[in-house]
Amino acid sequence: MITKERIEKIIAPKLEEDGLFLVEILVTSTNSISVLIDSDHGVSIEKCIEVSRLIESTIDRDLEDFDLEVSSPGLGQPLKVFKQYQKSLNREVELLLTNGKKEIGKLVSAKTDGNEIEVNKMIKPEGKKRKEFVTEVTFYPFNAIKTTRIVVSFR
Protein backbone atom coordinates (compact mmCIF):
# COMPACT_ATOMS: atom_id res chain seq x y z
CA MET A 1 0.00 0.00 0.00
CA ILE A 2 1.16 3.51 -0.80
CA THR A 3 1.39 5.82 2.21
CA LYS A 4 1.82 9.57 2.71
CA GLU A 5 5.11 8.91 4.48
CA ARG A 6 6.43 6.93 1.52
CA ILE A 7 5.54 9.70 -0.94
CA GLU A 8 7.03 12.34 1.35
CA LYS A 9 10.27 10.37 1.66
CA ILE A 10 10.49 10.10 -2.14
CA ILE A 11 9.97 13.80 -2.86
CA ALA A 12 11.59 15.52 0.16
CA PRO A 13 15.13 15.77 -1.33
CA LYS A 14 13.75 17.08 -4.64
CA LEU A 15 11.59 19.70 -2.93
CA GLU A 16 14.51 20.92 -0.82
CA GLU A 17 16.82 21.02 -3.84
CA ASP A 18 14.33 23.10 -5.85
CA GLY A 19 13.34 25.47 -3.01
CA LEU A 20 9.83 24.03 -2.80
CA PHE A 21 7.80 22.98 0.22
CA LEU A 22 5.12 20.38 0.78
CA VAL A 23 1.61 21.63 1.48
CA GLU A 24 -0.32 18.37 1.54
CA ILE A 25 -0.33 14.74 0.45
CA LEU A 26 -3.61 12.87 0.18
CA VAL A 27 -3.71 9.11 -0.49
CA THR A 28 -7.06 7.37 -0.77
CA SER A 29 -7.79 3.69 -0.18
CA THR A 30 -7.87 3.22 -3.98
CA ASN A 31 -4.30 4.64 -4.29
CA SER A 32 -5.38 7.96 -5.73
CA ILE A 33 -2.50 10.27 -4.79
CA SER A 34 -2.75 14.06 -4.67
CA VAL A 35 0.38 16.10 -3.88
CA LEU A 36 0.27 19.87 -3.32
CA ILE A 37 3.59 21.74 -3.47
CA ASP A 38 4.43 25.43 -3.24
CA SER A 39 7.33 27.86 -2.99
CA ASP A 40 7.88 31.47 -2.01
CA HIS A 41 7.79 32.42 -5.69
CA GLY A 42 5.09 30.11 -7.03
CA VAL A 43 5.38 26.74 -8.76
CA SER A 44 5.76 26.22 -12.48
CA ILE A 45 4.07 23.40 -14.34
CA GLU A 46 7.56 22.08 -15.13
CA LYS A 47 8.31 21.63 -11.41
CA CYS A 48 5.02 19.77 -10.94
CA ILE A 49 5.93 17.49 -13.85
CA GLU A 50 9.40 16.84 -12.38
CA VAL A 51 7.93 15.83 -9.00
CA SER A 52 5.28 13.70 -10.71
CA ARG A 53 7.91 11.89 -12.80
CA LEU A 54 10.03 11.29 -9.71
CA ILE A 55 7.12 9.57 -7.96
CA GLU A 56 6.20 7.63 -11.13
CA SER A 57 9.77 6.37 -11.56
CA THR A 58 10.08 5.29 -7.91
CA ILE A 59 6.85 3.33 -7.45
CA ASP A 60 6.47 0.17 -9.53
CA ARG A 61 3.10 0.25 -11.31
CA ASP A 62 3.21 -3.54 -11.78
CA LEU A 63 3.08 -3.95 -7.98
CA GLU A 64 0.84 -0.99 -7.10
CA ASP A 65 -1.62 0.67 -9.44
CA PHE A 66 -2.22 4.34 -8.65
CA ASP A 67 -3.53 7.65 -9.95
CA LEU A 68 -1.28 10.67 -9.41
CA GLU A 69 -1.87 14.41 -9.41
CA VAL A 70 0.85 16.92 -8.51
CA SER A 71 -0.09 20.60 -8.41
CA SER A 72 0.23 23.84 -6.51
CA PRO A 73 -2.63 25.05 -4.29
CA GLY A 74 -5.21 27.12 -6.14
CA LEU A 75 -6.12 30.68 -5.23
CA GLY A 76 -9.36 29.60 -3.59
CA GLN A 77 -7.69 26.97 -1.42
CA PRO A 78 -7.26 27.71 2.29
CA LEU A 79 -3.75 28.14 3.67
CA LYS A 80 -2.64 24.91 5.31
CA VAL A 81 1.02 25.16 6.35
CA PHE A 82 3.00 27.82 8.18
CA LYS A 83 5.19 28.63 5.16
CA GLN A 84 2.08 29.62 3.21
CA TYR A 85 1.23 32.15 5.92
CA GLN A 86 4.75 33.56 5.80
CA LYS A 87 4.56 33.78 2.01
CA SER A 88 1.25 35.68 2.29
CA LEU A 89 2.40 38.46 4.64
CA ASN A 90 0.99 41.90 3.73
CA ARG A 91 -1.73 40.34 1.56
CA GLU A 92 -5.42 40.64 2.23
CA VAL A 93 -6.88 37.50 3.78
CA GLU A 94 -10.28 36.27 4.89
CA LEU A 95 -10.45 34.39 8.16
CA LEU A 96 -13.38 32.14 8.95
CA LEU A 97 -13.33 31.81 12.70
CA THR A 98 -14.52 28.78 14.67
CA ASN A 99 -17.35 30.91 16.11
CA GLY A 100 -18.70 31.48 12.56
CA LYS A 101 -17.54 35.10 12.17
CA LYS A 102 -15.52 36.30 9.17
CA GLU A 103 -12.71 38.83 9.34
CA ILE A 104 -11.09 40.39 6.30
CA GLY A 105 -7.85 42.28 6.67
CA LYS A 106 -4.16 42.43 5.90
CA LEU A 107 -1.99 39.63 7.29
CA VAL A 108 0.69 41.58 9.17
CA SER A 109 2.41 38.75 11.05
CA ALA A 110 2.47 34.98 11.01
CA LYS A 111 3.60 33.29 14.18
CA THR A 112 3.69 29.62 15.08
CA ASP A 113 0.71 30.06 17.42
CA GLY A 114 -1.46 32.37 15.28
CA ASN A 115 -1.76 35.42 13.02
CA GLU A 116 -2.11 39.16 13.39
CA ILE A 117 -4.62 40.78 11.05
CA GLU A 118 -4.86 44.53 10.36
CA VAL A 119 -8.48 45.59 9.86
CA ASN A 120 -9.85 49.03 8.95
CA LYS A 121 -13.16 49.68 10.71
CA MET A 122 -15.62 52.55 10.82
CA ILE A 123 -16.34 53.46 14.42
CA LYS A 124 -17.90 56.48 16.09
CA PRO A 125 -15.50 57.93 18.66
CA GLU A 126 -17.00 59.30 21.87
CA GLY A 127 -18.01 62.94 21.60
CA LYS A 128 -17.89 62.94 17.78
CA LYS A 129 -20.83 63.09 15.38
CA ARG A 130 -19.28 61.14 12.48
CA LYS A 131 -17.76 57.74 12.20
CA GLU A 132 -14.04 57.55 11.46
CA PHE A 133 -11.77 54.90 9.99
CA VAL A 134 -9.69 53.23 12.66
CA THR A 135 -7.01 50.63 12.01
CA GLU A 136 -6.88 47.77 14.49
CA VAL A 137 -4.40 44.90 14.65
CA THR A 138 -5.89 41.78 16.20
CA PHE A 139 -4.18 38.50 17.08
CA TYR A 140 -6.06 35.29 16.22
CA PRO A 141 -4.68 32.02 17.60
CA PHE A 142 -4.79 29.09 15.16
CA ASN A 143 -7.27 27.22 17.37
CA ALA A 144 -9.76 30.09 16.81
CA ILE A 145 -9.36 29.98 13.00
CA LYS A 146 -11.26 27.48 10.89
CA THR A 147 -9.83 28.58 7.50
CA THR A 148 -7.67 31.35 6.07
CA ARG A 149 -7.90 32.26 2.39
CA ILE A 150 -6.18 34.87 0.26
CA VAL A 151 -8.62 37.53 -0.95
CA VAL A 152 -8.32 37.88 -4.72
CA SER A 153 -9.05 41.37 -5.98
CA PHE A 154 -9.17 42.49 -9.61
CA ARG A 155 -9.22 46.23 -8.84
Pairing of strands 21-27, 102-111: unpaired
CA distance 109 to 137: 10
Structural domain boundaries enclosing 24? 4-71
Same domain for 122 and 86, yes or no, is yes
Cα-to-chain-centroid distance, residue 5: 20
Instruction: Please state the φ and ψ torsions of residue 118, each to the nearest 5 degrees.
Output: -95, 120
Of 20, 46, 71, which residue constitutes the final position of a domain? 71
Of 34, 50, 71, which residue constitutes the final position of a domain? 71
Helices (H), the chain: 4-17, 45-58, 82-87
Q: Which long-range contacts (CB under 8 A, 24 or more apart) does 137-143 make?
A: 137/108, 138/103, 138/105, 139/114, 139/115, 140/95, 140/97, 140/103, 140/114, 140/115, 140/116, 141/113, 141/114, 142/113, 142/114, 142/115, 143/98
Provide the CATH number for the domain around residue 25.
3.30.300
* Burial class for 107, CB neighbours closer than 10 Å (0-12, 13-18, 19+): buried
Same domain for 19 and 57, yes or no, is yes
CA distance 76 to 51: 23
pLDDT in tens, 20-31: 999 999 999 999
Same domain for 56 and 90, yes or no, is no
Q: What is the pTM of this model?
A: 0.83
Q: Is residue 155 part of a domain?
A: no
pLDDT score, position 148: 95
Provide the CATH number for the domain around residue 90.
2.30.30.100
Same domain for 61 and 93, yes or no, is no
Same domain for 86 and 146, yes or no, is yes
Predicted confidence band at 152 (pLDDT cuts at 50, 70, 90)? confident
Q: Is residue 22 part of a domain?
A: yes
Predicted confidence band at 75 (pLDDT cuts at 50, 70, 90)? confident
